[in-house]
């Protein structure tokens, strides 16, 4: 698992869930660019994808982020918060560029 230290690795200017979601998506896509997973019979997809796209219909840019994270089967009866059952994509270290404002 890519370990993070909440106090030092997440930039201090991340102060909303939206910024945190984009940061996580970009970081996971950056360190796992070609990692794929099976998501159905005969269907594989990259585990972490992120990009910023211009949406002409409303003249705005949007971050589109997709993550496919394996979950421990213990989530079915474990009783803990759902996110605690997330399994690692890799053990790649978080690049320094993601740790600063």
Q: Could you list the residue range(s) of the whole structural domain that residue 24 is in?
A: 17-88
Cα distances (angstroms) measured from residue 1 to each of 25, 35, 63, 87, 91: 15, 14, 24, 8, 4
Answer yes or no: is 56 within a domain: yes
Residue with tokens 């979950």: 71
Answer yes or no: is 99 within a domain: no
> Residue 2's pLDDT is what?
85
pLDDT tens, 34-90?
999 999 999 999 999 999 999 999 999 999 999 999 999 999 999 999 999 999 999
> Residue 35's pLDDT is what?
97
Residues pairing with 37 in the sheet: 45
Answer yes or no: is 37 within a domain: yes
Number of domains in the chain: 1
* Number of alpha carbons in the 13 Å side-chain half-sphere of residue 31: 19
Answer yes or no: is 31 within a domain: yes
Answer yes or no: is 83 within a domain: yes
Answer yes or no: is 5 within a domain: no
Answer yes or no: is 36 within a domain: yes
């Amino acid at each position: 698992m890519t370990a993070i230290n909440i106090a030092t690795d997440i930039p201090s200017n991340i102060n909303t869930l939206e910024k945190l979601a984009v940061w996580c998506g970009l970081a996971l896509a950056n360190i796992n660019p070609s990692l794929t997973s099976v998501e159905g019979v005969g269907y594989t997809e990259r585990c972490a994808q992120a990009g910023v796209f211009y949406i002409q219909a409303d003249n705005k840019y949007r971050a589109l982020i997709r993550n496919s994270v394996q979950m421990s089967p213990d989530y079915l009866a474990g009783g803990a918060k759902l996110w605690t059952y997330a399994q690692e994509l890799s053990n790649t270290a978080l690049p320094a560029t993601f740790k600063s404002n």
